[in-house]
Every structure is written in C-alpha cells, then in structure tokens.
Copies of this chain bind each other. A is one copy, B any other.
C-alpha cells in the first residue's frame, strides 16, 4: 500500500466503506456542473441526478428502521458530504430533501407522520422543502413571524405570513420542485403563543401550481448553486388539518389545548432545533469536502507548472517557491485537521442519534461543537478555495477548472444553517453559561445574565475527558529547554488550552460587570462582542487540535503517523502564528520564542514540500473526478 493510501485510510475514518462506495458510484454518474444550462435546465437535471441517488441507499440511511429507513446516521451525513466533491448543487438539493425536510418529519413528527411521509420522501415520490428562514429573520429563528393559529371550529391550523418580513425566503425547493413544506411558525391556540413549531403544509398541486393562499416566487440567480431552486413563500390563510403539526414536542388537542413534554418554552425550542443538528454537520462536512477538492486541484497544478527561474529556460516548479508553499501547505494542514474533527463529530452524532434517550448534556455539547466546527470549516472553505483559485492564476479563473464554481457554490455556507458569527457566539455562550441552566434565546441580555463564574472548570473537565491529551500536556518539555519545544504536541495543546481558558475567563469577567438593566446589559455585551466571538473561535481551535492528535493515535501505519505528525504541527504552529500578538501580549510566548514560530513553520514547509502529492492524494478525491482541464495537459 502506498503512503497516500495509508494516509487516506486515516482520513476516511469510520465510514470509509461509504466513501469508497460513493467514489465508485458517483464517479460513474455524470455530475460535472454544466454552465451552459439555463436555470430551468439545470434544475431539471439535478432532479434526475437525485433519482440516481435513491438506489445507493444513502437517502434511506438517514431514517430509523421503524420509520422506513435503514438507521445509519453516520452513513447518511458521510454520503451527503461525498456529493460535495462532485457537485454542490446536488449536495444541497439532497441535503434539503433528505436532511432538512426529511429530518424535520423524522425528528419533530411522530409515528403517523413517519408512516405517511418517510418512505415517499426517501424515494422522491414526495418532494419537500424546509421553510424556516424569513426575509426579516435569518439566524434569529425564535423571532419568526409566520403564525399557525388553531381554529377550533374546523380543527385546522391557519397559516399566515402577515408582513413582508415574515415571507419565507431563500428556501431550497420552494421556487419549483417542492410539493410540500415543513413550515416553522408560531403556534397560537386559545389566544396564546407557544413558540415556534413545525407544520407540514402542501404548496403545489400535481401540475406545480401554487395551492390557494400560497404564493411562491423565485430567488433567481445566485452567487452559485445554480441548480438549486431557491424561492420564497407567502401564506394567506392557508388551512391545514390539525394532524399536520409535527407534534413530538408540542401537541394541540381537538379542543385546542396545548401540551408538551417540555414545559420551559426556551428549552423546548432549543430541543427541537437540536434534533436538526445533522444540517450543520452536513454543511460543515461538505464545505470541507469542497475545500479538499480545491486544494487537490491547486496542489496538483503547483506541481506541474513552472514560472521564472534562476536562469533563462530553467523555470522553477511553483511548489518549490517558498511563497507558494506558504500559500498552500498550511491550508492543506488545516483541511487535515478539520477532517479529523469532522470524523470525530460524525461518530459522536451517530452514537447519540442511535440512542433512544440521548443524554441532554452530551447533546448540547454536540450541538455546540457542530455549530462551531461548521463556522470554522466554512470560513476555511471560503479562504482556502479563494487561495487555490489565485494560486492557479488565469487558469484558476476559468470555469473549466472548477475552482470558481467551488468558490461560488460554497460561499453561502458561511451564512446558511446559521450565520458564522452567530454560531461562534452560540458556542461561547454555551461555554460561558457552563451548560448549567435553562438558557434564554440567543439574545445578548440572556448571555450577560447567565454568564457563569465557573468557566475554568468547564475547560479542565472537558480536557480531562481525554487521557491521551492530558498525558501529552503533562509530558511537555519545560519552556526554556529548547527552541524546538514548540514542535512538541503537549506544548502546542497546552498553548491552545491556555489561550481558550484565558479568553473565556476574561470574557466572563467583562460580562459579569453588567447590572440587571436590559439596556446596560446590551451595552456590556456589545462592547465585548468581538471578545465573545473570539472565545468561540479559540475553543474550536483547541477541539480541532485534540481531534487531530487523537486521529493520529488511531492511525495504524507508522509511516503515515510520522507524516501526519508534521502536518499536525504545521496546523498548530500556523494557527499560533496567526494569533502571535495575543501569545506575546499575554506572556505565553516571549519575544525570542515567538520569533521561532515563523522559522519552525518554514522548516515544516520544507519538510512537507516533497509530500505535496501524497497529501493531496490523501484527501481521496479521485483524479477522474477533479474535472479540471488544466490538469490534463
């Protein structure tokens, strides 16, 4: 077995068999994006592609056996993620149908809904969409304006979007394909609002015409995802049977009385949202997959293209330039890091979602991690795909070389399934409130009010969970012994952990200064907002480094382990380098030691340069599926 195969096995993780299956099956389909198609043609084509996915078994994997699926959540998200290597429009369409729409039915509905819908939606006999976002309300889902008011006389819910800002917007499938929608709306009965719930609302008749009271429209062209039919929906007194409420977490009886297994309205809301975690996991994983494709293309191009040179006729291979190594290798290292973190996340999600009564604390931790990792992965995608494009010069700008399409398609990933800034804020909030109490919404005041004094314990406790990490930290060399101590994993882990703890503690201290007055609380929150978001970010940095470390330990090839160790150090040190001012200003790195960071990064670049091809091959993007004309020549 070659080194790159051994590396790929380590990166493929637990659902390697799904990846191998997808590489084979998807490679045989004709999935390359066609820029010559009109919107309508591209949309029609992606529907045909989706139908080919049904027999692969990936769609069914996302649903429990008793609902009509095969009950393999890890396979479901891995399968979706693999689509991202081929075409992101297809990935998003599949994610909307089976992940979001199907996920809402499966997780928020009960047996009657499963029996009625799941088989049909797996087989695409029923096409759905996920109508959550409203024009005026993006990430702030608790403020949705669409209402579902129970009408006692007819035992129906009446769906209304009363204002322009309550219009459902950017909804994948709403412009053309979706026959029904999972609509999120404020549930009102007997004059009381019980918060956001989800309802199954038919949108179109068999001919594709809007049903009475429903008005759909088209979002038209976008920055990418050309085959996804994003649209808008307005509801004007649309009546649906009482049974169309997905009633696992809230029920209205015939007489209009509301009941729920969860009394607290905030906890109920976040529990419902929490069940939909797979969306974020899939978006983060797909962003990573697309990034790997882009880096595979740019890395291969850098190995075949020469420019300038020490004398005429002796041009230098791009990858031999220090600057080019600086541009690509740290991004490749980060992609490795995120892949290991993603694998760990998917494994935990799979375990938790395969349990009948998942632990609440563990569920919330998982949600926080999924949110933060999604933000980190999608920003990395934006940055790395852009750099890959630029690193291929003019050729990188041609659609035939895929990079601009990858960039445009993934661009919205930083926005959907939660804006990244809001997500890091959510992560920080969970850490700052120590997962200890019933928390409020995502509003700033709630955060200020609940800022806890026990941040330090949280970090310690969570780190202690991994004995390997703790052992490495304990065994790290003393600071002054050697300039190269920064290459020690324990030293790196300790720097990451220390930074997280300090950023969290100081954030908590700032927030605790606020009084009870909502206005003052907002001012305190706002003055610290960049600090809070940073707390989420550095937390994820630490989580990712630990996941990388654990992934190396699990790797069975000593040679691959050696290579991965250098890649991991490059991830760690380039992360430290980007935040060097903090480490210096907070006396975590003395000036002289700080200066070694850059030279150590450069040493690692030189060491990894000969392994460039191995590293991009390790991503496991089959050459035949790269679809970049410039690599053929």
Q: Which residues of B contact A445 (CB under 8 A)?
A: 310-311
Q: State whether B309 touches A443 (Cβ < 8 A).
A: yes
Q: Which residues of B contact A384 (CB under 8 A)?
A: none
Q: State whether B594 touches A408 (Cβ < 8 A).
A: no
User: In chain A between 430 and 489, which residues have their CB closer than 8 angstroms to a CB of chain B?
Assistant: 441-445
Q: State whether B399 touches A222 (Cβ < 8 A).
A: yes
Please give the number of chain A residues whose Cβ is less than 8 angstroms from any Cβ of chain B in the complex.
Answer: 82
Which of A170, A441, A526 counts the most chain B CB atoms within 10 A?
A526
Q: State whether B530 touches A326 (Cβ < 8 A).
A: yes
Known contacts A390-B415, A580-B581: does B398 contact A220 (CB below 8 Å)? Answer: yes
Q: State whether A321 touches B394 (Cβ < 8 A).
A: no
User: In chain A between 481 and 527, which residues have their CB closer than 8 angstroms to a CB of chain B?
Assistant: 518-519, 521-522, 526-527
**A interface majority secondary structure:** helix
Tell me how far the C-beta of A344 lies from the nearest C-beta in chain B, rounded to whole angstroms.
27
Q: What CA separation (Å) do A169 and B519 show in the bound complex?
A: 60
**Contact check: which of B223, B323, B326 meets A399 at CB < 8 Å?**
B223
Q: Which residues of B contact A393 (CB under 8 A)?
A: 138-139, 415, 419
Tell me how far the C-beta of A586 lies from the nearest C-beta in chain B, rounded to whole angstroms.
9
Tell me how far the C-beta of A222 lies from the nearest C-beta in chain B, rounded to whole angstroms.
5
Q: Which residue of B lies closest to A139 (CB)?
A: B307
- Asked if A611 is at the interface (CB within 8 A of a chain B CB), the reply is no
What 1/0 flags go to A21-37 for Cβ under 8 Å of B? 00000000000000110
Known contacts A310-B443, A312-B143, A326-B530: does B169 contact A394 (CB below 8 Å)? Answer: yes
Tell me how far the C-beta of A304 lies from the nearest C-beta in chain B, rounded to whole angstroms.
11
Q: State whether B411 touches A404 (Cβ < 8 A).
A: yes
Known contacts A139-B307, A323-B529, A584-B591: does B399 contact A411 (CB below 8 Å)? Answer: no
Number of copies: 2
Known contacts A164-B633, A419-B393: does B399 contact A220 (CB below 8 Å)? Answer: yes
Q: What CA separation (Å) do A436 and B518 show in the bound complex?
A: 65
Q: State whether B308 touches A444 (Cβ < 8 A).
A: yes
User: In chain A between 207 and 237, which residues have their CB closer than 8 angstroms to a CB of chain B?
Assistant: 219-224
- Asked if A155 is at the interface (CB within 8 A of a chain B CB), the reply is no
Q: What CA separation (Å) do A370 and B53 show in the bound complex?
A: 53
Q: 7 A-B contacts, Cβ less than 8 Å apart?
A: A138-B393, A139-B307, A222-B397, A224-B397, A309-B444, A311-B443, A320-B526
- Extra inter-chain contacts (17) besides given A133-B394, A139-B307, CB under 8 Å: A138-B307, A143-B315, A164-B633, A170-B394, A222-B399, A223-B398, A223-B407, A308-B442, A309-B443, A320-B526, A322-B526, A322-B530, A323-B421, A394-B415, A581-B594, A585-B595, A587-B591
